Every structure is written in structure tokens, then in C-alpha cells.
Chains A and B, each alone.
Chain A
Amino acid sequence: MKKNKNPFEYEGSNNLSDEEILDFYIEDFNYSRFIQSTRNVFLVGERGTGKTMALLYNSFIIQSKLAAREASSLSFDKIGIHIPCNTPLFHKKEHLLIEDSFRASIVSEHYLVLSIVSQIAETLSAIEEIEEAFKPYNKKLKEEFEYVLGITLHKASSFLTSITYFIKKEVIDTQRKINSPESNSFYENAFSFSSLALPFINSLKSVPILGKSHFMLMIDDAHDLNKSQVETLNSWIAYRDHSDFSFKVATTRKNHSYVTSNGGSILEGHDFTSIDMGKALFNKDSDFAKMARRIIQKRLDTLGRKIKVDNFFPINPDFQKDLEECKEKVRLEAEDKFKGGTKKQIRDHIYKYARAEYFRNRSSKANRPPYSGIDTIIDISTGVVRNLLDPCFWMYDTVLSESNNREIKSIPYTVQNVIIINRSEAKWEILKSLHKIVEGCTEEDSKKVFCLFDNLMVLFRERLLKHNSEPRAIMFSISQKKDSIMERIQPLLDIAIKSQMLYTRSGNSKDDGKQETYFVPNRMLLPARGLDPHGQHARVSLKAVDILAAAENNKSFPFVDADNELKQPVQTGLFDE
């Protein structure tokens, strides 16, 4: 990496070079072992959580470069084929020209299969060792394939290259046939997984070098598949013997359906393993916090200097001193309150109130806190890798522009604070105009979402300053979910989720221990409002009717402190449901 090239590039992983992927990737042992396995895997997470990076890293081309870098022998046991869905081939709409839905689904599968086979052929042909190993078999493979499929392959090319040419020709032929002026045109020679992909894989495995290989077909951005393609993919996952190949499917949280073509469904734990890429971030010892540090450290290491993360992103010393003083004050309070009590009681008390004490002691006329330090940067990421890199990128960029090409050894805490506040305010600006960026969001919806978040921050602030039990809770769950109210709230929540202003997580419900969905506002929103992005392991229960009132009527959320919650258990009124 060049001396001052920004190491915190956060654009999509598809824009990174192979070398950068190798340089930047951090293995997450919670799920990496499943990607390199024969299981079918669904990687589910919002944009920016590292799905594409994980798939790309495990693709065979990258793994071959890793082996070269480490001077180790390349294993052919597991061959990852990266198949991006966000390509023109997948966005083809020819199937919409066909009235018969069954025939349309055949064309959809045809394009999906062509993409898969094309990517397999391109990946393998990019590996010199494989092309060499195929040389004695090229003629035989081509003849057999031509015979089985009744096609003609390009004479002058190797088997793998001729397949890529064949696929390109097929795409053109399909498009011409379906777009022809004849009504209800259909492409009679459409391929299915059984008629093209399976024979192709069998041909590959007939070559000794790939005789024992397991192909991992890594479908990226599966939310871009059309409904029919999703069902087809699910059917393959349900039906197929997976000794020769498996599917690793990356998709955003809500969009993927698990229904198969015949109306059945694929089952988590049975047909596939699901990996939730969105990570809960409760404290600096959480999995994400540890991984985040490793990510940043690895990025710094590419600068070629030995810089520790904490030294590169130093915390404002006054901020740190004040936090320490508050912690000490709260510790003394706890020792007094829990005389004869356990160390855990004192620790818990400090965890809950030390940081809140800092915010409570600030003068109402004081500026916003001097947000800085790697822990704050990790906090505002909300457990999403892209959100982690974003402020780091801009901090580095700011310092670089003022550096006169000198080596950058750290990001001054003043710069960190300015960037964090700027990025936070920019987030609020985006929040005001979601109708411009979210499909299906009207200006009216945009206003409602803004009001909702505005009132949420007011509530969080009030709790931070006054709540006696969970002052730093910055997540919420929804209670008293009447259908008629949820019908009006859910579209707004969906808009917030699509725009990544809001994330969803799963956790145990307080009431009955069942799994419930809870909501985490993007923590980058908090600094602009002078709130603590650190949060605590607690969530605020908000009634659906209050959420609706906040959104539609700009009504403040009712604030009830913990003492009143204990004295007055919630009673429904006579006319409440």
C-alpha cells in the first residue's frame, strides 16, 4: 500500500483489488468455518456487514493468491465460486415478456444457471494450474459435452474457455428469441440446473485434479434475484445431494423467501445454516468490538508502520479524565449503597451509571461531548463494518489533506470529534429526505420517520439524564402491538431499515423469554444530539400506539422513570384492548 493511501476504504468489497481483499480481510471464526464447509449457508445481514467480503475472501481466485502469498500449496478440496447477482445478466427482464408464468420461470432459471456455469468456468480458467491440468482432457471433455448437450463449442479454445464463449452466445440467442416480434415468444432450449450445471460439474470432476473437489457456489446479493429465481435456488438447496457442491447465499435480512418452486420450504438447521452478520454490540468485550479492533489494526498494518489502534485514534484526555472521575464517584456511591454486598453489584452499578454521571454533570450550556477514541468509533458503527470504516476514512482523509505528504501517525482527537459530529449531522440531513433515496418512500413517510427518530432521541436524552435504572438504553422493543397500529408503523420501520437508520436484532424477551425482534437506531445519529453512543445491555419497551403518535403527530414519548414503573405496574384501561 502506498505511504498515504487511505487504508480505510469502505466502498463495496467488489471494488477492492484481490490484493486489498487479502490485506483487509479479518476472519471471524464464528462463521468462517461454515463457509469453508459442505453445508448450505445463508449469510444474512444489512448492507455493510461484510457478506461480500466474506464470500470474496473464500473464493478460489483469492484463496489461490493467498496460497501464493504464503508460499503454501493450493488445496483443491473446496473451490469457492463467487457468483454476484448484481449484474446485468441478473437484471434481465426478458421473463417479463412471457405471459405464461411457468415458462417465465423456466427463462429465469435459464439465466441463473448460465451465470453459475459462466462463473465456474471463468474462475477455474483463471487458475494456471487448472488450465494446465485440463490440457490432456480438453478435446475429450469438449466432445462429450457437445454430444450430451447437442451444442457446438468454440474449436480453438480450451474446454473452460469454450464454455464461457458458449454461455455468452446463449445469452444473446435467448435475448434475440424472446425479444422477437412473435407473440408469447419462448426459448425452447432453456437450460436448467440438471441439464447444464450438473453435467458441467460432473465433467469437471472427471479431471483428476478436481476429482475430489467440492464446489461452493457463492450467490452474492441474492435479494437481487427475482421471485422465481429465489424459489428455484431454494428448490436446489432442498433437493440436491450436496456432496459435490453446496450453496452459500448472501442476502439482506428481510428480503429472502425460503419457499421452493413447488410451494414447500427449506428449513434452517436442516437444509441450511443461517449466519446473522449483524452483530450485537453491547460492550468492548463483545465479539464485534474485538473484531472491529482487528479490522482497524489490519488496515493500519497496511501502512507498513507499527501503530496500535488506540494510539492512532487517541481519546481526548479531558474526556477520558472526566469519565474516570465519574467512574470513581459512582464507585464510591456503589460501595456505600451496597455495603456488605457483592463485587458484582458494585460492578453492575458502575456499568449502569458511570457514563450517565458524566452526561448528567455536564452544564446545559456546554458544547457536545468531545467524542473521540477507538471505542467511540466502534460504538457509533452499531455493529456494522462499513459504518466502522466510514468515519475512519474521513478522519484519515482530513488529516491527509493537511499533512503535506508527511507520515500520518495518529488522528488528533479534535479531528475525530469534528468528523464524528459532521457525519452525525449529515445522517440527520439524510433522515430529513429519505423520500429521495428510498424506493417507495413518500415525502409524507419521510417526515413521519424523521419525527419518530427526533422523538426517540428526546426520550433517550431524558432517560440519560433522569432514568434511575437504565439511563443508557438506546435500543427499543415494541409492546402492545395491535394489528391496526402495526399496519401503520411497519412501513415506516421498513423505510428506516432500508435506509440503514435502523437495525433489527433478535434477543430474549424480558416477559416470557421467547425470541423477540428489537430495534437499534443507527448510533451515528446520537453524537449530533449530544447523546452517549456507548449504550448498555438494555432496551426500552415502547408501546406501538406511542410510536405511531410520535411519527404521525410528532408527540413526545411518555417518560416514566424506573421508580414509577415499579410503583405503578401497567394496567390496561377499561376500553383498552
Chain B
Amino acid sequence: MWNKQPIEIRMEEALIAQFGQEQGHRYYVQYETARNQLVDEIFPQIRAVEPSLTEHDATHIKDVLKNAELLLGEDISKLNGIDLYCLGLVILFHDVGNIHGRKKHNLYKNTVTVYNHVRNRIAKYNHERTVVLRAAQAHSGLSNTGSTDTLKDIDPTDHIDGHTVRLRDIACILRFADELSEGPQRTSTFMQVNNKYDPKSKIFHKYADSTHIHIDRPNERIAITYHIDIEKKGKKFSAKAEKEFIELIHFTYHRILKLDQERKYTKHYSGLLSPFKKTSVKLNIHVNGQLQNLDLNEITLTDIVVPGDECRNIFELDESYRVENILDALKSIGS
């Protein structure tokens, strides 16, 4: 059962403020109808098609909606009713292509079938369909020219029913909100422990399990906190535990840099995201569930670009983050 999200309440209020009670409410019902149908019919089926994916169900949509609201903060008032309506639809439809399989799930050809089903191919939605799915498509994958700069192809504005929508801002918010919706809620510890996920997907689930993201607009940052556990039996780490730990750490570093790239990238195209000036990262390593003191400094990735600097990895910012150094420090504790 779906509980109305705060951003949806704002949407309804903004629609009524923009269009009056009757029409504003009508727009909201259009949104709500689409949402309920997706929640009932489509989202639950994605798991059946891609059982090893991290969660792409209604919970994920709620997360993205919540993240969008947090990203906007007080600037949500800069979006009017039709903007929020469009944003809501873009968030609802951005991952529906997974019903046809993960590969190229974002593409128009994969999302349009679901959209047409939900809207019953009613003609009045034709332009809305184009606008919404184009913005949704930009949340991942490649652009028309084959580059990863998908936001470039999104016009700054478009319209729905003749009302201007800030389409590029909306696409940026979706993209970043989606990137930030990572965390334990997207995976199942039971499935992990009992090896029910495809081995190729295991790392994604482990990463989700250890990640906690906080959208901290007042402090101008995205704060990522990791809690990574490594098991120790007796006095040593097993070879398997070490191997999995190293793999997870490297994957984590890769994802940190990716998230920060997304922050800078979406900020470049949308002034609404300009308050997010840095990504701050804290790594907490636990051994058998007990937090270890490794004196690792917080890593902060900012917008500053120093000529000549080309950081490809986290440990280039701080040597103590080399996995070998972390493992050595863990082994020396209690020895």
C-alpha cells in the first residue's frame, strides 16, 4: 500500500496553486492513477524478470522521490505544479524498462510500452509521453551520439499541455536522486547469506548493504558513510575474507568517484543542484561486527580542480586508503 509522499503533497498543492482546484486536482489524479498502476502491476514484476538486481520496486521509487525532495530543499518552491508533476512522472517511469530486462532498460523503446499500457494510448498524453520518457532516458546509458553526456540532449525547457516545464533540471534531479538511492533497503541480507543472488550481482548487493547516503543540503554536501565488515576467525583473516574485502573496497572506491562525478555533472546542467559543493566519505571498518579504529581521515571530494592533478583513485588522495595499508592496520590490531 502506497503512503502519500511529502513531495507528492507539495505537487498537489503546487498544481492547485497553478491551475486552480479543479484542473490542478485533475492533473494530480492523472499522476496518481499512473503511479498506482505501476505500483500494482509493473514494479512487483521487475523482480521476476531480474531476480538478482538490487531492488527496483515501489520502495526504490519512494526513495528517489524522497531524495528529489531533499536535493531541492527550499528551492522546491522554484518548481511550479507542472514541473513537479513532470518530475513525479519521470521518477515513476525511469526504471520501468527493467521489465524487459536490465540491458538498455532506460531506452525509450523499452519504457514506452509500459507508458502506453498505463496511459491506454490516449492521444492527449502523446507529448507528455515524449517529454517524460526523454528525461527518464537520460538517467543512464548513452546519448544519441553515443557519449555518456546524456543530459546535453535534453532541452532546458519543454512543455506539457502548453505549460512550460524545466525539463533539463528535472532530468538532472532524477539522475542524481537515483544515484543517491543506494543503501541496505535495496538488498536482502537473507538472500546474500544464502547465496540466492547471481554471483555477478553479489558485489552490488554487498555494496548496497554497506552504504548509507545522507543528502545534506544545509551543509552543502553529500555524506556517504560506509560500514564494511570483515570476518576474522581466530587470529587471522581467511584468504576468502581478504579477497572479498579487497574486492568490495575497490568497488566502493569506484562508486565514490562515480557518485562524485554525478554530483558535478548534474550540477553543471542544473543550478538547482549547485548547493552541493562536496562529497564527504567516511569509511568504518568492522571486524566481526566491532568497529575498528584505523585513524582514517574523512575523504572530501570538492569541486576544486588543481592544474596537473588527475585523481583516478581514492588512495591517490590519501595513501592510508590503499587496501593493503588498511589490511595491514587491521591485522596489527589485537596482534
Chain A residues within CB distance 8 Å of chain B: 33-34, 37-39, 238-239, 241-243, 260, 262-265, 267, 269-271, 273
Q: A137 to B219: give the CA distance in the assembly, Å.
A: 38
Whether A269 pairs with B225 at a CB distance below 8 angstroms is yes
Whether B297 pairs with A38 at a CB distance below 8 angstroms is yes
Q: How many chain B residues touch A (Cβ–Cβ < 8 Å)? A: 19
Q: A267-B214, A269-B225 known; A262 and B219 CB under 8 Å?
A: yes
User: Which one, B214, B218, B282, contacts A263 given CB within 8 A?
Assistant: B218
Can you list 16 A-B contacts with CB-CB less than 8 angstroms, sorted by A residue number? A33-B293, A37-B295, A238-B219, A242-B298, A243-B297, A263-B218, A264-B218, A264-B219, A265-B219, A267-B214, A267-B216, A269-B212, A269-B282, A269-B284, A270-B212, A270-B224
**Interface residue SS majority, chain B:** strand
User: CB within 8 Å of A: which of B199-253?
Assistant: 212, 214, 216-219, 223-225, 227
Which residues in B have their C-beta under 8 angstroms from that of A37?
Answer: 293, 295
Supply 17 further A-B pairs (C-beta < 8 A) apart from A33-B293, A264-B216.
A37-B295, A38-B297, A239-B219, A243-B297, A260-B218, A262-B218, A263-B218, A264-B218, A264-B219, A267-B216, A269-B225, A269-B282, A269-B284, A270-B225, A271-B282, A271-B298, A273-B291
Q: How far is the CB of A408 from chain B (nearest CB, A)?
A: 39
Q: A260 to B295: give the CA distance in the assembly, Å.
A: 24
Which residues in B have their C-beta under 8 angstroms from that of A243?
Answer: 297
Whether A264 pairs with B297 at a CB distance below 8 angstroms is no
Whether B218 pairs with A38 at a CB distance below 8 angstroms is no
Q: A263 to B227: give the CA distance in the assembly, Å.
A: 26
Q: A472 to B158: give the CA distance in the assembly, Å.
A: 69
Whether B297 pairs with A270 at a CB distance below 8 angstroms is no
User: CB within 8 Å of A: which of B265-312?
Assistant: 280, 282, 284, 291, 293, 295, 297-298, 300
Q: A33-B293, A38-B297, A242-B297 known; A270 and B280 CB under 8 Å?
A: yes
Whether B223 pairs with A270 at a CB distance below 8 angstroms is yes
Q: A364 to B261: give the CA distance in the assembly, Å.
A: 75
Q: A384 to B67: give the CA distance in the assembly, Å.
A: 41
**Interface residue SS majority, chain A:** loop
Q: A262 to B217: give the CA distance in the assembly, Å.
A: 10
Q: How far is the CB of A248 from chain B (nearest CB, A)?
A: 13
Closest to A275 in B: B291
Q: How far is the CB of A276 from chain B (nearest CB, A)?
A: 12
Which residues in A have their C-beta under 8 angstroms from that of B291?
Answer: 273
Whether B295 pairs with A269 at a CB distance below 8 angstroms is no
Q: How far is the CB of A1 from chain B (nearest CB, A)?
A: 33
Whether A39 pairs with B225 at a CB distance below 8 angstroms is no
Which residues in A have their C-beta under 8 angstroms from that of B293?
Answer: 33-34, 37, 39
Q: How far is the CB of A427 from chain B (nearest CB, A)?
A: 35
Whether B297 pairs with A267 at a CB distance below 8 angstroms is no
Q: A398 to B320: give the CA distance in the assembly, Å.
A: 56
Q: A238 to B300: give the CA distance in the assembly, Å.
A: 11
Q: A433 to B73: give the CA distance in the assembly, Å.
A: 48
Which residues in B have their C-beta under 8 angstroms from that of A39?
Answer: 293, 295
Q: How far is the CB of B177 from chain A (nearest CB, A)?
A: 19
Q: Which one of B216, B280, B284, B293 has the greatest number of beta carbons of chain A within 10 Å?
A: B293
Which residues in B have their C-beta under 8 angstroms from that of A262?
Answer: 218-219
Q: A271 to B291: give the CA distance in the assembly, Å.
A: 15
Which residues in B have their C-beta under 8 angstroms from that of A267?
Answer: 214, 216, 223, 225
Q: How far is the CB of A481 from chain B (nearest CB, A)?
A: 20
Which residues in A have their C-beta under 8 angstroms from that of B298?
Answer: 242, 270-271
Which residues in B have their C-beta under 8 angstroms from that of A271?
Answer: 223, 282, 298
Q: A38-B295, A39-B295, A269-B284 known; A260 and B223 CB under 8 Å?
A: no
Q: A241 to B278: give the CA distance in the assembly, Å.
A: 13
User: Which one, B217, B282, B295, contacts A270 given CB within 8 A?
Assistant: B282
User: Which one, A34, A38, A264, A273, contacts B217 given CB within 8 A?
Assistant: A264
Q: A488 to B300: give the CA distance in the assembly, Å.
A: 45
Which residues in A have their C-beta under 8 angstroms from that of B214?
Answer: 267, 270
Q: How far is the CB of A334 from chain B (nearest CB, A)?
A: 32
The 4 closest A-B CB pairs, nearest first, are A264-B218, A264-B219, A270-B225, A33-B293
